Amino acid sequence: MKKVDPFVIVIGFDGSKQSHEALAWGVEEARYRSAELRVLTVWNKAPMAWYPAMLETAAGEIVAEDSPEQQAEALSAEAAKSAVGVNVVTRTIKNDSAASAILEAAREADLVIVGSRGHGGFAGLHIGSVSAQVASHSPCPVLVIRPKTF
């Protein structure tokens, strides 16, 4: 008897409101299909080397700002907590392009889910550059989640 691989859903997650909506949709879809959910958080170094900034809190405490990698790890942990009851795999990936990292993961996926807009880009665009690139070049179906308007 041939083993059937699980349905694989890849989600691009950057912590934005729309990526949270994409994650929620993906969790429900994974439950419905008994699918494996692969949540990707992509980070890159700033154009210049990252130096920790010191921030002063409202209480007057001095704290170090997290590095881009630490921020991505925190987002991955947040995503995993949201996917209760689902087979979830989180990955943080260092890459200059979120779209290329998602497209690479899409090669082993049955469905990709992204928010229509993330943290980057210009307000007023209806679809972000990452979601447009992924939708245009993915080898599998792509679901682009738009914000709820009701």
Q: Round to whole Å and give the CA distance between 141 and 138.
A: 7
For the chain, the residue count is 150
Q: Which amino acid is present at 129?
A: S
**pTM of the predicted structure, to 2 decimals:** 0.77
What number of H helices and E strands is found in the chain? 4, 7
93, 99 Cβ separation under 8 angstroms? no
Higher pLDDT, 129 or 66: 129
Q: Which residue has the tokens 């949709």?
A: 25
Residues with Cβ within 8 Å of 93's Cβ and at least 6 positions away in sequence, in order, are 40, 41, 42, 43, 101
DSSP secondary structure letters along 77-117: HHHHHH-TTSEEEEEEEE-S-HHHHHHHHHTT-SEEEEES-
69, 41 Cβ separation under 8 angstroms? no
Tell me, what's the pLDDT at 67?
64
Q: Is 14 helix (H, G, I), strand (E, B) or coil?
A: coil
Tell me, what's the pLDDT at 128?
65
Mean pLDDT rounded to a whole number for the chain: 78
Q: Which amino acid is present at 70?
A: Q
CATH 1.10.150.120 applies to domain 8-45+55-145: no
Which of 94, 81, 132, 108 minimizes the C-alpha distance to 9?
108
**What are the tens digits of pLDDT across the range 14-28?**
888 888 899 999 999
